[in-house]
Structure 1
Amino acid sequence: MNTTSTAGKRDWIALGVLSSIALLLSVDVSVLYLALPHLSSELGASAPQQLWIMDIYSFMLAGFLVTMGTLGDRIGRRRLLLAGSAAFGLVSVAAAFSSSAEMLVVTRALLGIAGATLMPSSMALIRNIFRDPKQMGAAIGIWFSCFMVGMAAGPLVGGLLLQHFWWGSAFLLGVPFMVVVLVAGPLVLPEYRDGTAGRLDLASVALSLGAILPAIYGLKEITRSGWQPAAVLAVAAGAAMGVLFVRRQRRLADPLLDLRLFGDRAFAASLTILMLGGVVMAGITLTVTTFLQSVAGLSPLAAGLWMIPPSLVMIVALSAGPMLARRVQPAYVMAGGLALGAAGMALMTFADASGGVAVLVVGLVLAQAGIALPMGLGNGIMMAAAPPEKAGSAASISETSGEFGVAVGVAALGSLAAAVFRAGLPAGVDADTLAGAVAETLGDPALLAGARAAYTSGLHAVAGVGAAVFLGLAVLTVAVLRARPDRQERQATPEPALTWS
């Protein structure tokens, strides 16, 4: 067993096992987009059932992240990871052989719960294995890079599978990964648990689910159908339950979520940077992909090919961030990345409706590279700021905020783009979406051009807001994280030994 602060060979092999989980989870999400038409036809899934097949996974994942992160701290992170891996593999087989749409919805929900055991446990174990802050940052960067590789490779892998096999093969893809984790995990992954933690508070679990699930559902419905009363009420109900959840955590001796984590300035600032960065990137990615297909008129395949360069650059930048941080203070690397992202957003505001594809893609490349630098380093700072016994809880906070960031970005910035679009439509055109406006104006080239220009204006508005947010986050990064205490000094205090038994 490695008793020094420097990681050894066994530790890097352990990272490979944990990174394979990140790769699987991202592939598993992206591959379903291609499989949905096939499985819907085979199972006779209605339109609402198709939406639930897609959405229930993210609902349950977001809802259970906090609970599972804290549960791992209590019962053992490796134990929870291995149990979740076994469950994920078994439920994946059940999903692949679903005989009805209802069965697939249920198995997707169970996959979301199982996935919630894997993500925070993986990152928490990285925190425990890599005690040197620089190596921890590099390890987290590699973990995120694997996640992004999975997102980029998912459509390609899914296309190959669906070309030669039935739709269920998309779910069986995860089974070999889980077998590797179950075989190699006990050999290379250490166990860690907080021996002083109390029992899991079930009332807090219920309140956390009552806060997260309605909020995520409401945000998705706002994205889909606009600011309808039911969606707004769901978000409000989630917020009210969130208030009750926070109040209960403050009273408990062993809370489900230790709110003292937010008292660390480095932790709170990094969380804010990552969540708002996720809001911006979710909104801009939505508007850019819509532009490529509905304004530029590209096929889904061509649009997907244009999106490959930003993804590749982001993967490279995730690994480059920790290397740069060895020579330059991490706060300046993160702030520089955010400034680069702001420049990319600003460039997007110069794209026009007739030939703006190249400008948009270059801007998105800069934005993706820019956000990748604070993403890997920021998560490293958060994990280093958290006490070892709270690493699972810290990881769950990071990942839950990511889920909220995407949902808020799509809902809020998507609504901004839609509002600017509707305000800019030519007289006589009445549509809520670009697809509707295109269908309405096909017979009139001038009106069609006006509708496309109106959507481009909405994209400009989102990019402008994104540039302003990124610049503000760059200032926050330098102001707060530049003066953060040396994590190496704090790491020098003894930590409980890891065990492989």
Structure 2
Amino acid sequence: MPIVFGIKLIAEGGNFVWATSVIALGLVLAVVFVRRQMDLPDPLLDLRLFRRPAVTAALGINILDFFVGFGILVLVAQYLQLVLGLTPLEAGLWSIPAGVGFVVGSLLTSTVLRLMRPAYVLGLGLAFAAGGLALMAYAAEMHSLILIVLGNALFSVGSAPGIAIVADLVVSAAPKERSGAASALSETASEFGGALGIALLGSLATLLYRSALGLAMPTGVPVNTMETALRGIGAASSLTPGLGNGGALLSAARGAYTSAADVTFLTAAGIMLVAAIVAVTMFRGSKTQE
């Protein structure tokens, strides 16, 4: 939590010394936690399982899958509402196809697993998800609602197989007597990846937004208003109604957030491609458990 807090503080333009100090505290606590878990005969998290490359690779894929999945949730919601101008209800309704896509991807997983090995199903799914993210990046620049929704749905279809397959790979790679510990690590990795995704991808988008808006800031904006607008697209949108040049500021803020979303989506697509390569490379010899 201190590490995440420090990263978010830096992204929002907070005090750098304070932020780095908090991050350092988090790193110290992490080291203490890991050393304690390694010394305990019955640890809370059996980190010794990371000595097995297959377990480490499977958990890494799991973290990256949830990292991207959770990380783009806020990004998409903000883009739909604060750039395209949808109401919260409209944005929620347009998010339904992504949920349907996840269900479809989950249902198709067992069928496809009968035709090919888990590694290839997982790799193809992650690559498919990366394609959906690339489409979202293009759609953000085009301000296309339909393409954003389509890309989000494709991403959901592609990322869905990872949940079932990775859990199976983690447990299969661990010794039978430690399968429970392996399953616990898999569940923890999912939550950990999701939390990091919201924090780090959100921070990346914020940094890119601040940089782009700083270059495109309209002239004549008061310093206090400028500082508030740089905090995020939501803060900029809440300020504009009361400003004489509010239209220009809102336009600049939307353009800056569009640019930030574009790069963040492409970054997420790259992460999914890396996960796909690791999946195929590490587990191409693995078979589906009956």
**Matching residue of 1:370:** 158
CA separation of 1:368 and 1:297: change in aligned 2, threshold 3 A: same
Q: Which runs of 5+ in 1 are unaligned?
A: 1-212, 492-501
Match of 1:433 in 2: 232
1:382 matched residue in structure 2: 170
Q: Structure 2: any 5+ residue segments left out of the alignment? A: none
Residue identity opposite 1:368 in structure 2: S
**Which residue number in structure 2 is paired with residue 294 of structure 1?**
82
Give distance in 2, aligned partners of 1:471 and 1:452: 29
Percent of residue pairs identical = 38
Task: Name the SS of the counterpart of 2:255 in structure 1.
Answer: helix
How far does the alpha carbon of each residue in 1:8-46 deviate from its partner, in whole angstroms, 9 at most, with x for none? xxxxxxxxxxxxxxxxxxxxxxxxxxxxxxxxxxxxxxx
**Cα pair distance change 1:319/1:384, threshold 3 Å:** farther
Confirm or deny: 8 A CA contact 1:339 1:471 kept in the other structure.
yes
Match of 1:269 in 2: 57
The separation in 2 between residues aligned to 1:467 and 1:309, in whole angstroms, is 19
1:421-468 deviation digits (Å, cap 9, x = unpaired): 122222336222112222444454344222211101110011010111
Q: Is residue 424 from structure 1 mapped to residue 212 from structure 2 by the alignment? A: yes
How many angstroms does 1:320 deviate by? Answer: 1.8
Correspondence 1:360 to 2:159: no
Counterpart secondary structure, 1:483: coil
Tell me how far apart the structure 2 counterparts of residues 379 and 457 of structure 1 sit (CA, whole Å). Answer: 36
Distance in 1 of aligned mates of 2:102 and 2:14? 33
Structure 1 residue 414 displacement after superposition? 1.1
Partner secondary structure for residue 217 of structure 2: coil
Correspondence 1:457 to 2:259: yes
Of 178, 185, 188, 1:400 maps to 188
What does residue range 230-249 of structure 1 map to in structure 2 within 5 Å?
233-249=21-37
RMSD of the TM alignment (CA)?
A: 2.7
Q: Distance in 1 between matches of 2:251 and 2:147?
A: 19
**Map of 1:259 onto structure 2:** 47
SS of aligned partner of 1:298: coil
Instruction: Output aligned runs, 1:133-172, within 5 Å.
Output: none
- CA-CA distance at 1:255 after TM superposition: 3.6
1:226-275 Cα deviation digits (max 9, x unpaired): 65566654543333232223223434444443333223332211110110
The aligned runs of 1:436-447 (5 Å cut-off) are 436-442=235-241, 443-444=244-245, 445-447=247-249
Counterpart residue type for residue 436 of structure 1: A
Task: Evaluate the alpha carbon distance shift between residue 449 and residue 394 of structure 1 in structure 2; reply closer, same or farther with a 3 A threshold.
Answer: same
Q: 1:278 aligns to what? A: 66
CA drift of 1:338 comes to: 0.8
Q: How high is the TM-score relative to the length of structure 2?
A: 0.83
Alignment match of 1:327 (pick from 102, 115, 128)? 115
Cα displacement (A) at 1:215: 5.2
Bigger shift: residues 314-323 or 423-432: 423-432
Relative to the length of structure 1, the TM-score reads: 0.50
Task: Please tell me whether the aligned partners of residues 226 and 415 of structure 1 are also in contact (alpha carbons under 8 angstroms).
Answer: no
Deviation at 1:388? Answer: 3.9
Aligned residue for 1:171?
A: none
Q: Which amino acid aligns with 2:217?
A: A
Q: Distance in 2 between matches of 1:238 and 1:355?
A: 39
Residue identity in the other structure for 2:234: A
Checking the alignment, whether the CA contact within 8 Å between 2:54 and 2:173 is kept in structure 1 is yes
Q: Distance in 2 between matches of 1:258 and 1:438?
A: 46
* Pair 1:308-2:96 in alignment: yes
Equivalent pairs, count: 275
Instruction: Please state how far the C-alpha of 1:309 moved relative to its aligned partner.
Output: 0.8
Alignment partners' CA distance in 2, 1:352 and 1:257: 40
Tell me if structure 2 keeps the 8 A contact 1:314–1:369: yes
1:115-130 equivalences in 2 (<5 Å): none
Looking at structure 2, the residues matched to 360 and 446 of structure 1 have their Cα atoms a distance apart, in angstroms, of 25
For residue 379 of structure 1, give the secondary structure of its aligned residue in structure 2: helix
Shift of 1:364: 0.8
> Shift of residue 385 of structure 1?
2.5
Q: How does 1:169-184 map to 2 (within 5 A)?
A: none
Deviation at 1:487, TM superposition (A): 7.0
Structure 1 consecutive aligned stretches of length 4 or more whose deviation exceeds 4 Å = 213-216, 219-235
- Give the structure with higher Rg (CA): 1
Higher relative contact order (CA 8 A, sep 6+): 2
Residues in 2 aligned to 1:351 and 1:341: alpha-carbon distance in whole angstroms: 15
- 1:172-193 CA-partner distances (Å, limit 9, x unpaired): xxxxxxxxxxxxxxxxxxxxxx
Check the 8 A contact 2:82/2:234 in 1, yes or no: yes
Deviation at 1:221, TM superposition (A): 6.2
